[in-house]
Structure 1
Amino acid sequence: MAPARLMDAAEVRRALTRIAHEILERNKGAQDLVLVGIAARGDDLARRLAAEIERIEGTRVPVGVLDITFYRDDIGLRAEAPEVHETRVEADITGKVVVLVDDVLYTGRTVRAAMDALVDLGRPRAIQLAVLVDRGHRELPIRADFVGKNVPTRRDEQVRVA
């Protein structure tokens, strides 16, 4: 069975534009914002959001990428070797509003690991979460501040952003 397409390129673009507006509205502009994409699929979305914020506001927002490999709670449970990515957050996040960006929010465990990794880099004033797709099935008390699309799924289904 072929996978169902949840969003086409135009819908993704519109969702990212809406999320960018919501981020700016919630934070009363772009000052003190830092966008950090969770490797390996949130970093491209973070760059796209930053470009959209710059287009709307005329202000460049720092963008980073965060590898959470060694912060995951299942690192010792997986049979395969973990795939390590680069962490690159060049802006000082202390006292800033950091918007974590990822493609899909599912159990919340990735976000928990990202928050642990993030506070090792500094002490943000606030951490907010932006996701393109929220599919439910939380195992931890985590919710997204900005969501492109809510998609009810079964636990055995997969959601992939391409």
Structure 2
Amino acid sequence: MNLKTKTVIMDENKIRRSLTRIAHEIIEKNKGTQDLVLIGIRSRGVPLAHRLNEIIEQIEGHKVPEGIIDITLYRDDLSSLAEQPVLNKTEITFDLKGKNVVLIDDVLYTGRTVRAALDAMADLGRAKTVQLAVLIDRGHKELPIRADYIGKNVPTSKNEVIAVLLKETDGIDEVLIKEKP
């Protein structure tokens, strides 16, 4: 489907400022970084988690444990994705028990991706708390899931798509609203 770019809602500087604010909010809410871990949801949650960890290191003087979670097998639309979905590895090398986990994703839309990540995490252990950080919350929830940390709220219509482009995956930092024809 060929989508037409409607508007650029965040550039590199706005993304950086949003992530810096989110990092400060995470540290403040958790009263520091003790027992704090970051887990990026594949795919664009991973570079965002890494960037947040870099900012936390600048503020606190040390990084926190960082992991990657793949939700492919936990999706409720798995059969409609592909006959043979591509599985990526979950990379969490630390115990979740007693940890304050911050799940990180690029866009919160229906809540189904986050639900799948929660299911995947449940197989890895029981965290003390689970918080959610997203760069964009676009509304239209189908599940009772909300983000604890939000870079930007962007009310959208159903015929609009949020495209998050990151240097690590796309060569540029931008958030766009695109329109379906």
TM-score by length of 1: 0.96
Counterpart of 2:89 in structure 1 is 86
Matched letter for residue 15 of structure 1: S
Per the TM alignment, residue 77 of structure 1 is displaced from its structure 2 partner at its CA by: 2.8
Per the TM alignment, residue 6 of structure 1 is displaced from its structure 2 partner at its CA by: 1.1
Per the TM alignment, residue 82 of structure 1 is displaced from its structure 2 partner at its CA by: 1.9
1:93-112 equivalences under 5 Å are 93-112=96-115
Q: Secondary structure at the match of 1:2?
A: strand
Counterpart of 2:36 in structure 1 is 33
Instruction: Pick one of 16, 20, 25 that aligns with 2:19.
Output: 16
Counterpart of 1:133 in structure 2 is 136
Matched letter for residue 156 of structure 1: N
Contact 1:40–1:85 (8 Å) recurs in 2: no
Per the TM alignment, residue 94 of structure 1 is displaced from its structure 2 partner at its CA by: 0.9
User: After alignment, is 73-82 or 24-33 more displaced?
Assistant: 73-82
Instruction: Pick one of 116, 120, 142 that aligns with 2:145.
Output: 142
Matched letter for residue 130 of structure 2: I
TM-score by length of 2: 0.87
Q: Residue by residue, what CA displacement relative to the aligned partner does 1:39-77 show, whole Å, maximum 9, x if unpaired?
A: 011000000001100110112101100000000011123
Matched letter for residue 139 of structure 2: G
RMSD after superposition = 1.1
* CA–CA separation in structure 1 for the residues paired with 2:86 and 2:43: 10
Counterpart of 1:5 in structure 2 is 8
Matched letter for residue 138 of structure 2: R
User: After alignment, is 99-108 or 3-12 more displaced?
Assistant: 3-12
Counterpart of 2:163 in structure 1 is 160
1:110-121 equivalences under 5 Å are 110-121=113-124
Counterpart of 2:53 in structure 1 is 50
Q: Which has the higher strand share?
A: 2
Bigger relative contact order (CA 8 A; separation at least 6) = 2
User: After alignment, is 72-81 or 137-146 more displaced?
Assistant: 72-81
Q: Would you say how many aligned residue pairs link Structure 1 and Structure 2?
A: 162
Q: Which runs of 5+ in 2 are unaligned?
A: 166-181
Q: Residue by residue, what CA displacement relative to the aligned partner does 1:105-159 show, whole Å, maximum 9, x if unpaired?
A: 0000000000000111111000000000000000000000000000000112111
* CA–CA separation in structure 2 for the residues paired with 1:87 and 1:42: 13
Q: Which runs of 5+ in 1 are unaligned?
A: none
Instruction: Pick one of 74, 77, 83 that aligns with 2:77.
Output: 74
User: After alignment, is 81-90 or 99-108 more displaced?
Assistant: 81-90
Ranges of 4+ aligned residues in structure 1 off by more than 4 Å: none
